[in-house]
Amino acid sequence: MIKKLLACVIGLALSTSAIADDHAVSMRDSDDWTTRKGLRFGYNYVSGGERSDKIISPHMFAIGFESQQTMSGGDWLDLLFVQNVTISGLEQSLVIPSANVLVGFEINDSLQLAVGANATIYDPADDNNYVHLVSAIGWTQAAGHFSVPVHLIYIPDVNEYWRLAVTTGVNW
C-alpha cells in the first residue's frame, strides 16, 4: 500500500503544468498558452461497487484539484491538457485517491472533449488493475474573474467496475 501511494505521489510530483494566465477571463500569454486551475467536487458512481467488500456504497462524494492548459488554435478550436487529482469515499471513511491526465480539444472557450489515463491505488476487483482509460466531456462557463466547469467523466474497467462521475467547481 505504501509503495502504491508513494508511486502516485512521485508521478504527481513529476507531472508539472504549463505556466500561463487565466483563459476564462481572456488573459493571454505571449506564447498562446493559457491555464485554469481550481477546486473540484462532485459525485462518483462505481458500477458493481456493492459487490466489493471494501466500499460500503457505490455512490461516493469526490473532492479534488484540477489544472487545465490550452494552446490557442487562433479561432474556435484550442488544444487542451488536463491534470486532476481526486479523493473519493470520504463519506464512507475511505480515502480513494485517483489521478487523471487527459488531452483533448476546447471549442469556443467552453465545450471540452478529452481522453487520457486514470491511475488509482484502489481496485475493487483485487486484480491489480490500477490504470484505466478516462474520457470526459465538459462545459466551462465564464463568471467574471472566475469560471465554473461542469464535467461528465467515464472510466471503463475490464472487470465491469466502471466509474461515472459528475463534477463542478470554480477556476481562477
Hey, where are the domains in the chain?
2-171
User: What mean pLDDT value characterizes the chain?
Assistant: 88
**Neighbouring C-beta atoms of residue 152, cutoff 10 Å:** 14
- Residue 6 has a pLDDT of 57
Q: Is 146 exposed, middle or buried (0-12, 13-18, 19+ CB in 10 A)?
A: middle
The string of pLDDT tens digits covering residues 93-133 is 999 999 999 999 999 999 999 999 999 999 998 999 999 99
The string of pLDDT tens digits covering residues 45-80 is 999 999 988 899 999 999 999 999 999 998 999 999
Report whether pLDDT(20) > 50: no
**CATH architecture for the domain at 2-171:** Beta Barrel (2.40)
Global pTM? 0.81
**Residues found in the chain:** 172
Q: Is 91 exposed, middle or buried (0-12, 13-18, 19+ CB in 10 A)?
A: exposed
Rounded distance between C-alpha atoms, residue 101 and residue 78, angstroms: 17
